[in-house]
Each structure stands twice: as structure tokens, then as C-alpha cells.
Chain A
Amino acid sequence: EAGVTQSPTHLIKTRGQQATLRCSPISGHTSVYWYQQALGLGLQFLLWYDEGEERNRGNFPPRFSGRQFPNYSSELNVNALELEDSALYLCASSLWGMDTQYFGPGTRLTVL
């Protein structure tokens, strides 16, 4: 069974640009979560999507946004990139909002 997949693996942007990160959940999972892991910091919760709706949001500014598609895949958009946005962005999926989260390999975003 295929796990959570994320693309791209690496992404390099300059300050002020926009970044789009993609995630495909495990087949049968309807919930998708996004986390930011900056160097030396723990996992910080960004967003939770289920059945196409945003269910919860972490303490991040509105320039972090996303969506979930009918096939449950998800996209994270980061607008007006800042240097501090450089981090590993992790996507996880689970059965509806309750059970164990399974993580993808992550997208390394570097903002220059």
C-alpha cells in the first residue's frame, strides 16, 4: 500500500514569491494535515483538512493557506514568502480526524 506522497522534494524560492506544495494521502484516508518543522524546532501544526473543508488552523498568518481536492489530495500555499518560512513542510494523513497520523517524506522549502 502506497504511503503519503509529497511533491516537490525540494523547493527554492526568493523572498516575496509564492510556494505551492502538494500532498497525496494514503488511500482511504480523508484527513490531511500540514506541519512546519523549522531547523531545531518541533513540529508546528499548520492546517487540517477533511472532506474538502478546513477543520482547524494553527497559529500561522493568513498567507499560509491551502485546500483539499475531491480525491482528498491537498495543496499548501504560502504567499509573500519570508526568510523564516524556510523549513521542512510535512503532510500527514489519517482516517477522519481521530486516528494515528502517517507522515509523508516532506518538502524542504528554502527561501533566499
Chain B
Amino acid sequence: EDQVTQSPEALRLQEGESSSLNCSYTVSGLRGLFWYRQDPGKGPEFLFTLYSAGEEKEKERLKATLTKKESFLHITAPKPEDSATYLCAVQADRTGGSYIPTFGRGTSLIVHP
């Protein structure tokens, strides 16, 4: 069974204080790992897809990295508008099977001005 564990559950930062969010996963054959941002009461907003260990992707103050066991979402010099819940999901590579991703519970990030 695929498993995704995100840590910490909640993170409070001061504006400009860089940090990282962790996504540990167990999957038999990774097809893709996804990061989303979700604001309260809204649908998740797609950020990144990572496919293989060593891959990195960046968008503004966010950088996602991937190893064989975990992914990190690095937030550099965050601003209050980066406050949201960040979700990680993994999609297993199953021959002829389901590609339904498994989501973690998310990390709630609050950035104080």
C-alpha cells in the first residue's frame, strides 16, 4: 500500500525565514510525485511534478527536490502570501492498473509579517 507522510504538520515562520517541508513516501515504483498548494476552502493549486530521483523544479520562492524516499519543498525568504497548506501526493506506476495518487495530510504553513 502506498504511503505518504508529511512533516511537520504545521509550521510558523517569520517573513524572510527560509525553511523546508518534508514528504516521505513508500510506493512500489514511483511514476510521479506532486506538490500542491491549498488555501482554506479552495481547491488545491498545482505546483510541481517530479518524476525521478535527483530532479529539482523551481517556481518563484519555491524549490522542490526528490530522492528515492522523500521530497522536500524548500521555501526561500517566504512572504505572508505563501501561507497555505502544502500537499504532497505520489502516483505509483502500476501496469494496467490505477494511477490514482495517494495524498499526504499536508503541512499548514503560516508566515508572519
Q: Which residue numbers of A lie inside 8 Å of B, CB to CB?
A: 4, 6, 33, 41-43, 45, 48, 55-56, 58, 88, 90, 92, 97-106, 108
Specify which chain B residues have a CB less than 8 angstroms from the CB of A6 in the assembled complex: 43
Contacts A42-B104, A42-B105, A88-B41 known; A98 to B46 CB distance under 8 Å?
no
Asked if A43 and B103 make an inter-chain contact with CB atoms under 8 angstroms apart, the answer reads yes
Q: Specify the chain B residue showing the minimal Cβ separation from A55.
A: B98
Contacts A100-B46, A100-B49 known; A42 to B103 CB distance under 8 Å?
yes
Q: Could you tell me which residues of chain B, from 6 to 51, have a CB within 8 Å of some CB in chain A?
A: 31-32, 34, 36, 41-46, 49
Asked if B98 and A48 make an inter-chain contact with CB atoms under 8 angstroms apart, the answer reads yes
Q: Which residue numbers of B lie inside 8 Å of A, CB to CB?
A: 31-32, 34, 36, 41-46, 49, 87, 89, 98-101, 103-106
Specify which chain A residues have a CB less than 8 angstroms from the CB of B103 in the assembled complex: 42-43
Given contact pairs A6-B43, A33-B100, A90-B43, enumerate 7 new A-B contacts (beta carbons under 8 Å).
Answer: A43-B44, A43-B87, A43-B103, A90-B44, A92-B43, A100-B34, A103-B45
A101 to B99, CA, bound (A): 11
- Among A41, A45, A101, the one with the most B-chain Cβ atoms within 10 Å of its Cβ is A101
Asked if B36 and A42 make an inter-chain contact with CB atoms under 8 angstroms apart, the answer reads no
- Among B44, B49, B89, the one with the most A-chain Cβ atoms within 10 Å of its Cβ is B44
Asked if A103 and B49 make an inter-chain contact with CB atoms under 8 angstroms apart, the answer reads no
Asked if A105 and B34 make an inter-chain contact with CB atoms under 8 angstroms apart, the answer reads no
* Nearest chain A CB to B106 CB, angstrom units: 7
A100 to B89, CA, bound (A): 10
Asked if B99 and A98 make an inter-chain contact with CB atoms under 8 angstroms apart, the answer reads yes
* Nearest chain A CB to B64 CB, angstrom units: 13
Contacts A42-B103, A88-B41, A108-B41 known; A103 to B46 CB distance under 8 Å?
yes
Q: Specify the chain A residue showing the minimal Cβ separation from B44.
A: A103
Asked if B106 and A42 make an inter-chain contact with CB atoms under 8 angstroms apart, the answer reads yes
The 7 closest A-B pairs by CB, nearest first: A103-B43, A43-B103, A42-B105, A103-B44, A56-B98, A106-B43, A105-B43
